Amino acid sequence: NLEVRSTRPFYHLTPPTGWMNDPNGMVFFKGEYHIFYQHNPDDIVWGPMHWRHAISSDLFHWKDQGIKIEPDEIGTIFSGSAVVDWQNTSGFQTGDEEVLVAMFTHAGNLQVQSLAYSNDRGRTWEKYDNNPVLSKVGDFRDPKVFFYSPEQKWIQVIAAGDRIQIYSSLNMVDWVFESDFGPGIGYTNGVWECPDLFPLKSEDGTEKWIMIVSVGGTSEYSGVNGGSATQYFVGDFDGNKFTHENDEILWADYGIDNYAGITWSDIPNEDGRRIFIGWMNNWHYAGLIPATEWRGAMTVPRQLGLKKNSDNEYFMTFEPVEELLGVAGKNETYNEAVQEINIEDNEIIQSGSFKIKTQINLSNNSFFELKIYNSREEVLLKYDKNQAVFSIDRSFSGNTHVHNLFVKTIKCDYAIKDNILPLEILLDQSSIEVFVNNGEKVMTALIFPRYEFNDLKITGSGGSELIQGLELVSIKKTVD
């Protein structure tokens, strides 16, 4: 156990070799989830961007498909999206099967938008002959396309520096400007990138439109806990313009390592889910994290929900998709209500890839601490009821020389209701994702323990009956 551990996650998507950043072109078609990602095949730092592809039928077992869209004389291949062109509006369909169309940023002297398409269920991709299809001077990137059925037209949201722009089209080739969202709205300390726009039903049946905007913050004080982070807006879209209604700034993740996330296109109506995945990293130190042959990972795929807070404002919830149950292995349960839990020399914990599901009762305790550790290192989660703050301390989690931000406590405001706090925690070799109260708040952080963790301990402020049951579940390796 003194060997240097591998940091490669068991059940989070990583590049076989080379560098990974943003998730791109996520589309569901004929039983397959497609994902592409920003990829530099020749180095483990950011460089000439390619789209590398992976396919899964369950969002966990990913089969690498290699590089599908490569740089050319127009530029390298920045972020973008993909859709199924069900009605062949583009005219790119050649056979009986629907054509998949990807729209991405070609980054050369200018950032311009281009198309590629596939007539064989995503196996091979051809670039459109007359690329680019949309150009403008300045920051102009990361087009996310969807079909707006009320008006039978395509909509694209695209980041333009300090604002998001909305364009429409009947065929994805000719685009018309519709409206600006921003500048000066929400969190503005950094360049706006990687937008998404989609409808989402709340638990009370109301439908709202969500605009996701990543912000490439550049300081230790930007974003939510430093560096880059992803905000979202709740509001309405009328086919031309998005208007937001939220007063406070809402974040997709209140941790530190979740950026450039967007959602899958074309998940069938009968499924009805909206699934999000983000790049589990932070631009502030992404090029510095421990790595030898590959660098970068995605978050766990998360299902979005919509709820109202106590001020009657809508906010999104994020929960691991249910397919996670399908990759669960061994399971241990602790049922009694107890004040303290000590699990030592535990095989599931030693595997480094597991889930903890527990319910904390703070009626008789003003705080609790949950520690995952070995004799030298620990990750410490804490909830303080009086301050209403949830925190992750990774300052003793192993290799923290990566960056200053590894020794700074990650904090998230959270006011508890009814003293009961359901928690779901995912560990996967080099990451921790904490889902508070069924995804009402999520905190994601990278960790680089040098030795395997062995133990888990939960304690409170000294009251009684803190822990109302706990389940420890190992999660299998999904990459062969």
Just list the catalytic residues.
22
What type of residue sits at position 406?
F
Q: Is 38 in the site for ligand FRU (CB under 6 A)?
A: yes
Interface residue with ligand FRU among 21, 119, 169, 317 (CB under 6 A) is 21
Question: Considering the complex, what minimum distance in angstroms separates the CB of residue 21 from ligand FRU?
Answer: 5
Q: Is 424 in the site for ligand FRU (CB under 6 A)?
A: no
How many residues line the site for ligand FRU (CB under 6 A)?
12
Q: Is 60 in the site for ligand FRU (CB under 6 A)?
A: no
Question: Considering the complex, what minimum distance in angstroms separates the CB of residue 228 from ligand FRU?
Answer: 7
For 220, the token pair is: 């230790």
Query: Nearer Cβ to ligand FRU, position 131 or 361?
Result: 131
Q: Is 281 in the site for ligand FRU (CB under 6 A)?
A: no
Q: Is 362 in the site for ligand FRU (CB under 6 A)?
A: no
Q: Is 467 in the site for ligand FRU (CB under 6 A)?
A: no
Give the x/- contact pattern for ligand FRU in 123-162, rule: CB under 6 A.
------------------xx--------------------
Query: Nearer Cβ to ligand FRU, position 20 or 410?
Result: 20
Question: Considering the complex, what minimum distance in angstroms separates the CB of residue 285 from ligand FRU?
Answer: 14
For 121, the token pair is: 């269920």
21, 281 Cβ separation under 8 angstroms = yes
Q: Kindly list the distances between the CA atom of residue 385 and the CA atoms of 225, 367, 440, in Å, as whole numbers in the listed order.
A: 20, 6, 16
Q: Which of residues 181-240 bind ligand FRU (CB under 6 A)?
A: 193-194
Question: Considering the complex, what minimum distance in angstroms separates the CB of residue 196 from ligand FRU?
Answer: 13
Nearest to 103 by CA among 118, 91, 93, 119: 118
Q: Is 323 in the site for ligand FRU (CB under 6 A)?
A: no
Nearest to 297 by CA among 2, 7, 5, 4: 7
Interface residue with ligand FRU among 7, 14, 93, 105 (CB under 6 A) is 105
Query: Nearer Cβ to ligand FRU, position 50 or 441?
Result: 50
For 312, the token pair is: 């009657």
Question: Considering the complex, what minimum distance in angstroms separates the CB of residue 121 from ligand FRU?
Answer: 25
Query: Nearer Cβ to ligand FRU, position 193 or 323?
Result: 193
Q: Is 253 in the site for ligand FRU (CB under 6 A)?
A: no
Query: Nearer Cβ to ligand FRU, position 67 or 328?
Result: 67
Q: Is 260 in the site for ligand FRU (CB under 6 A)?
A: yes
Interface residue with ligand FRU among 49, 134, 289, 343 (CB under 6 A) is 49
Q: Is 44 in the site for ligand FRU (CB under 6 A)?
A: no
Give the x/- contact pattern for ligand FRU in 75-94, rule: CB under 6 A.
---xx---------------
Nearest to 38 by CA among 28, 48, 29: 48
Residue with tokens 């998507």: 13
* Chain residues in the site for ligand FRU (CB under 6 A): 21-22, 38, 49, 78-79, 105, 141-142, 193-194, 260
